[in-house]
Amino acid sequence: MALPRSQFWISYGLGACAAGFGVLAAWQYAVSREGLAVERNAYIQREIAKLEKQVEEIAGYGNAKTVYDAYVRTANRVRERSVVPAAEALAELSRLPKELVLRAASVEANRLTAIGEAASEADIARLLPALEQSRFIAKARVTKTAPADGKHAFRLEAEIPRPSRSPSPDKGNQK
């Protein structure tokens, strides 16, 4: 049975509208997917930029470590060269056991002379082992003098070694 012509055109129009809506929906879907893809690409580009910045920063750490190492080497060299051995030797004497009392100390060139008192002979005997551990006092000799007022007097004579000039770590040992 054939449809009357008016119904045919109505059905044809409805079909065309449905097809148009289908095309419009497909187009909207494609546009939204394209927008999502553009948005996702922008997000990925931002993340790549962050990662590149982190890579540059990490690469900079290598340079910063090199600079820091150079700073440490320089600071160590300055500290080694700025040590005043005589002052350090006198500082070592100031850290003697409390049983030993220094009355006088003098430094001439690289010779140290100190005069002091101790409560006993044993205290004086402990003086040399304490001084042997010092970096700034070498070849120490203690002589006992006459006791005064129940105290045991002593005289200390020692050498103050010159600071060694070690080769700088960045040049190595060149022989």
Domain ranges of the chain: 7-82, 85-159
Q: Does the pTM of the predicted model rise above 0.75?
A: no
**What residue type is assigned to position 114 of the chain?**
A
Count other Cβ atoms within 10 Å, centred on residue 89. 24
Helix (H) or strand (E) holding 103, with range, is strand 100-108
166 pLDDT more than 60:
no
CA angle 97, 100, 103 (to 5 degrees): 130
pLDDT of residue 163: 64
What's 85-159's CATH class? alpha beta
> Per-residue pLDDT for 167 more than 60?
no
Chain centre to alpha carbon of residue 121: 48
Q: Give 80-114 pLDDT, tens digit per residue.
A: 665 577 777 778 877 777 778 778 888 887 888 88
pLDDT band with cut points at 50, 70 and 90 for residue 170: very low
Give 146-169 as a 3 state SS string: CCECCEEEEEEEEECCCCCCCCCC
Question: According to the model, what pLDDT value does residue 59 have?
Answer: 74
Greater confidence (166 vs 174) lies with: 166
Give tens-digit pLDDT for 135-145.
788 888 888 77
d(C-alpha 157, C-alpha 159), whole Å: 7
